[in-house]
Amino acid sequence: MNALDQIFVSTLHRLAGFAPASARPLVSMLLIIAGLMALFGTCFALATILERKTLGRMQNRYGPNRVGPFGLFQPIADGVKMLIKEDIVPFSADQALHFLAPLVLTVPVWLAFAVLPFGRNMSAIELDSGILFFFAIGSASELAVFMAGWSSQNKYSLLGAMRAIAQMISYEVPLVLASVPALIAAGSLSLPAIVQAQSGFALGWVPRWNVFTPWGLAGFALFLIAATAESNRCPFDLPEGESELIAGYLTEYSGFKYALFFLGEYLGLFAVTGLAVTLFLGGWQAPAPWLQWLPTWGWFALKFSALIFLFIWARATLPRLRLDQLLHFAWKFLVPLALINLVVAVAWCKSGLWQFPAALEIRWLLGAGVLAASYVGLGRSWKGGYPERRQYNYAQ
Phi, psi of 68 (to 5 degrees): 80, 175
Give the per-residue pLDDT at 395.
Answer: 57
Instruction: Give the orientation angle of helix 214-230 with respect to helix 335-350, to 10 degrees.
Output: 150
Give the per-residue pLDDT at 387.
Answer: 54
168, 268 Cβ separation under 8 angstroms: no
Alpha-carbon radius of gyration of the chain: 23
In the chain, which stretches have pLDDT less than 70?
1, 203-204, 239-247, 382-396
Three state DSSP letters for the chain? CHHHHCHHHHHHHHHHCCCCHHHHHHHHHHHHHHHHHHHHHHHHHHHHHHHHHHHHHHCCCCCCCCCCHHHCCHHHHHHHHHHHCCCCCCCCCCHHHHHHHHHHHHHHHHHHHHHCCCCCCCCCCCCCCHHHHHHHHHCHHHHHHHHHHHHCCCHHHHHHHHHHHHHHHHHHHHHHHHHHHHHHHHCCCCHHHHHHHCCCEECCCEECCHHHCHHHHHHHHHHHHHHHHHCCCCCCCHHHCHHHHCCHHHCCCCHHHHHHHHHHHHHHHHHHHHHHHHHHCCCCCCCCHHHCCCCHHHHHHHHHHHHHHHHHHHHHHCCCCCHHHHHHHHHHHHHHHHHHHHHHHHHHHHHHHCCCCCHHHHHHHHHHHHHHHHHHHHHHHCCCCCCCCCCCCCCC
210, 216 Cβ separation under 8 angstroms: yes
CB atoms within 10 A of CB 191: 27
Give the per-residue pLDDT at 352.
Answer: 75
- The amino acid that residue 8 corresponds to is F
pTM for the complete prediction?
Answer: 0.89
32, 11 Cβ separation under 8 angstroms: no
Q: How many Cα atoms are found within 13 Å in the side-chain-facing hemisphere of 124?
A: 19
- 265-290 in b/e burial notation, b at 16+ Cβ within 10 A? bbbbbbbbbbbbbbbbbbbbbbbeee
Give the per-residue pLDDT at 394.
Answer: 61
Sign of CA dihedral 316, 317, 319, 321: negative
Give the per-residue pLDDT at 14.
Answer: 87
Nearest in space to 80 (alpha carbons), one of 259, 262, 263, 268: 259
Cα(164)–Cα(143) distance, rounded to whole angstroms?
11
CB atoms within 10 A of CB 318: 13
The overall average pLDDT reported for the chain is 85
